[in-house]
A and B are shown apart, each in its own frame.
Chain A
Amino acid sequence: MNTALAQAALPTARAIRWTPAVCLAGVLVAATVLARSAGGPADVVLAIAAAGLAATVVSGLHDPAAAILSAVPVSVMQRRVLRLALLGLPAMAVWFLLDSLTAAQVSGPGPMLALTACGVAVALWAPPRRAVVMGASTPVALFALQRFLPSGTVSDVVGWWLTEPWWVLAAATLLCVAGRRR
Chain B
Amino acid sequence: MSMTTVRPATAASAPAMVTRALVVTEARRMLRNPVPWACLALTTWAMWTVTPEPGEWPGASYEGIIPAVAPFLFGISVAASLPFHRARHDVAPAAPVSEARRTLARLLAALPFVVVALAYAVLVAWRERDLGGLWIGMEPGRTTEALHTTAELAQLVVLALVAVALGAALGRRMSRLVALVPALFVLWFVVSVYWLFGQAALTPYSMIQVQPLNITVGPASADPLSFPSDWLLVGNPHTSEGWQRQWVSEALAWWHDVWLLGVAALLLGVAWPRPGRRALLAVGTVLAVAGLVGQHVVIP
Per-position binary interface string of chain A over residues 30-57, scored 1 when its CB falls under 8 Å from any chain B CB and 0 otherwise: 0100110110100011001101110110
Q: Check: B198 CB closer than 8 A to any chain A CB.
A: yes
- CB of A34 within 8 A of CB of B196, answer yes
Main SS of the interface on chain B?
Answer: helix
Among the stretches A73-81, A136-144, A169-177, the one at the interface with B is: A136-144
- CB of B185 within 8 A of CB of A52, answer yes
Take A35-B196, A38-B196, A150-B49 as given contacts and tell me if A55 and B190 are in contact as well, using a CB distance cutoff of 8 Å.
no
Q: Check: A180 CB closer than 8 A to any chain B CB.
A: no
> In chain A between 2 and 40, which residues have their CB closer than 8 angstroms to a CB of chain B?
17, 20-21, 23-24, 27-28, 31, 34-35, 37-38, 40
Residue of B45, B49, B181, B195 most packed against chain A (CB within 10 A): B181
What are 23 A-B pairs at a CB distance below 8 A?
Answer: A17-B176, A20-B174, A20-B179, A21-B179, A31-B196, A34-B197, A40-B195, A44-B193, A48-B185, A48-B186, A52-B182, A52-B186, A52-B189, A55-B181, A55-B185, A59-B176, A59-B178, A62-B178, A133-B178, A136-B181, A140-B181, A140-B182, A148-B45
Closest to B44 in A: A148
CA distance A20 to B193 in the complex (A): 21
> In chain B between 229 and 287, which residues have their CB closer than 8 angstroms to a CB of chain A?
none
- Chain A contact-residue range equals 35 or more
Instruction: Give the contacting residue for A38; candidates B39, B177, B181, B199; CB below 8 A.
Output: B199
Q: Check: B42 CB closer than 8 A to any chain A CB.
A: yes
Closest to A41 in B: B195
Q: Check: A118 CB closer than 8 A to any chain B CB.
A: no
B73 to chain A, nearest CB (A): 12
B172 to chain A, nearest CB (A): 14
Per-position binary interface string of chain A over residues 138-156, scored 1 when its CB falls under 8 Å from any chain B CB and 0 otherwise: 0010011100111000000
B204 to chain A, nearest CB (A): 14
- CB of A148 within 8 A of CB of B46, answer yes
CA distance A53 to B181 in the complex (A): 11
Chain A residues within 8 Å of B179, by CB? 17, 20-21, 56, 59
- CB of A48 within 8 A of CB of B190, answer yes
- CB of A23 within 8 A of CB of B181, answer no
Chain B residues within 8 Å of A38, by CB? 195-196, 198-199
In the complex, besides A24-B182, A137-B181, A148-B42, 4 extra interface pairs with C-beta distance below 8 angstroms are A34-B196, A55-B185, A140-B181, A144-B42
Q: Check: A132 CB closer than 8 A to any chain B CB.
A: yes
CA distance A37 to B196 in the complex (A): 9
B109 to chain A, nearest CB (A): 21
- CB of B202 within 8 A of CB of A34, answer yes
Chain A residues within 8 Å of B202, by CB? 34
CA distance A138 to B45 in the complex (A): 20
Chain A residues within 8 Å of B193, by CB? 31, 35, 44-45, 48
Q: Check: B175 CB closer than 8 A to any chain A CB.
A: yes
A158 to chain B, nearest CB (A): 12
Per-position binary interface string of chain B over residues 186-227, scored 1 when its CB falls under 8 Å from any chain A CB and 0 otherwise: 110110010111110010000000000000000000000000
B207 to chain A, nearest CB (A): 12
- CB of B195 within 8 A of CB of A59, answer no
CA distance A37 to B195 in the complex (A): 11
CA distance A55 to B187 in the complex (A): 13
- CB of A55 within 8 A of CB of B49, answer no
CA distance A53 to B198 in the complex (A): 25
Q: Check: B52 CB closer than 8 A to any chain A CB.
A: no
Chain B residues within 8 Å of A24, by CB? 182-183, 186
CA distance A64 to B179 in the complex (A): 13
- CB of B45 within 8 A of CB of A45, answer no
- CB of A55 within 8 A of CB of B182, answer yes
> In chain B between 137 and 193, which residues have their CB closer than 8 angstroms to a CB of chain A?
174-179, 181-183, 185-187, 189-190, 193
- CB of A27 within 8 A of CB of B186, answer yes
Q: Check: B83 CB closer than 8 A to any chain A CB.
A: no
- CB of B182 within 8 A of CB of A31, answer no
Q: Check: B71 CB closer than 8 A to any chain A CB.
A: yes
B27 to chain A, nearest CB (A): 22
